[in-house]
Amino acid sequence: MEPDLKAKYRYVLDGISQIPSLPSIVSKIIGIINNPRSNANDVVRLLEMDVGLSGKVLRLANSAYYGIPGGITSSQRAVTQLGFNAVSSIVISASVYNLFKSTEPSQAINRVAFWRHSIETAIYCRVLAGLMDRRIDPEIAFTQGMLHDIGALALDTTFPKEYLAVVDAARVAGVPLEQKEREMFGLDHHQIGARILERWSLPDVVRLPVENIHSEHSDASIREYVLVLALANSVAHSKGVVLYSSQFQEEVNLENALVKLGITQTRESLFQQFEEELEKAKLIMNLLRS
């Protein structure tokens, strides 16, 4: 690596290391995900220790998005009905949102648009994964979607002036944001995001697709998660939410991607399903804010 780039790289990694850790209860839940010997009761016990968090899980579990008949009144039932990965994804999403909530308003990234884009991507990931005969886990795909651009938020929070300059430079030059990020920081927001997810001990299956969103991954078990994330991200962008001031977005060819994923739905029925799920998920945004 050339010395100049090495210095930038160090500078950005030092800055990013200031991003706080997740609350200890969330780290413990991630620890449970990473431990194959753990079981659902371990999560229930943890949730019961945090009234705020278990309240959020219950409200979301009772929302139209999950649509569990009969309603859910306890953490125990939330975990057994929704499954462990769904509950974990709610907990992780809510706490990452909280972590960045109090930051100053930014000129580079509109926070409301950022979270709307993240939730949309997460929901599309979950829909796509659900059409793949259980080859990939819809809840893990949801978590990836929620967190895939977290590196952009981290850069914006840590280096607000520099990041605004990067976003402006990408817009003026009409090039991908990632290209300008690499010039300025030595790493782009997906690579930075992956570093943060690693520091938070999120599993490889969440971290690697974020890092490799624009490339094909050599590991077959990760490759389908990458494709799902890239497609969901591209659809979310194409629907017109301008996340960065820069408008350039790399397009993913929808038909090709669906063939690769073995999804036989027509474009129309897929988009209809996306819309229905988005409608049901309105509460997620409100819940994150509460």
By CB under 5 A, which span of 160-168, 203-211, 233-241, 255-263 interacts with Fe ion?
Answer: 233-241
- Least distance (Å) from Fe ion to the CB of residue 148? 6
Of 9 and 248, the one with the shorter C-beta distance to Fe ion is 248
Going by C-beta distance under 8 Å and a sequence separation of 6 or more, which residues neighbour residue 72?
58, 61, 62, 78, 81, 82
Of 57 and 151, the one with the shorter C-beta distance to Fe ion is 151
191 near Fe ion, rule: CB under 5 A: no
- Least distance (Å) from Fe ion to the CB of residue 44? 33
CA-based nearest residue to 86, from 146, 37, 15, 38: 146
CB contact at 8 A, 190 and 208: no
By CB under 5 A, which span of 51-59, 61-69, 142-150, 197-205 interacts with Fe ion?
Answer: 142-150
- Least distance (Å) from Fe ion to the CB of residue 136? 19
CA angle 53, 207, 45 (to 5 degrees): 30
Of 149 and 224, the one with the shorter C-beta distance to Fe ion is 149
Of 44 and 155, the one with the shorter C-beta distance to Fe ion is 155
Size of interface with Fe ion, in residues (CB under 5 A)? 2
Of 28 and 217, the one with the shorter C-beta distance to Fe ion is 217
149 near Fe ion, rule: CB under 5 A: yes
By CB under 5 A, which span of 127-135, 143-151, 199-207, 282-290 interacts with Fe ion?
Answer: 143-151
- Least distance (Å) from Fe ion to the CB of residue 189? 6
The token pair at 264 is 């036989």
120 near Fe ion, rule: CB under 5 A: no
The token pair at 200 is 């938070």
- Least distance (Å) from Fe ion to the CB of residue 243? 6
109: β partners: 244
CA-based nearest residue to 247, from 172, 192, 162, 152: 172
Of 56 and 126, the one with the shorter C-beta distance to Fe ion is 126
Going by C-beta distance under 8 Å and a sequence separation of 6 or more, which residues neighbour residue 129?
136, 137, 138, 140, 141, 142, 228
- Least distance (Å) from Fe ion to the CB of residue 80? 33
Type and span of the H or E element at 171: helix 160-173
The token pair at 207 is 């971290």
- Least distance (Å) from Fe ion to the CB of residue 118? 7
Of 82 and 236, the one with the shorter C-beta distance to Fe ion is 236
Which residue from 191, 212, 233, 234 is in contact with Fe ion, where contact means CB under 5 A? 233
State the residue for tokens 């109090």: 102
SS (H, E, C) 41-63: HHHHHHHHCCHHHHHHHHHHHCC
Contacts with Fe ion by CB under 5 A lie at 149, 233
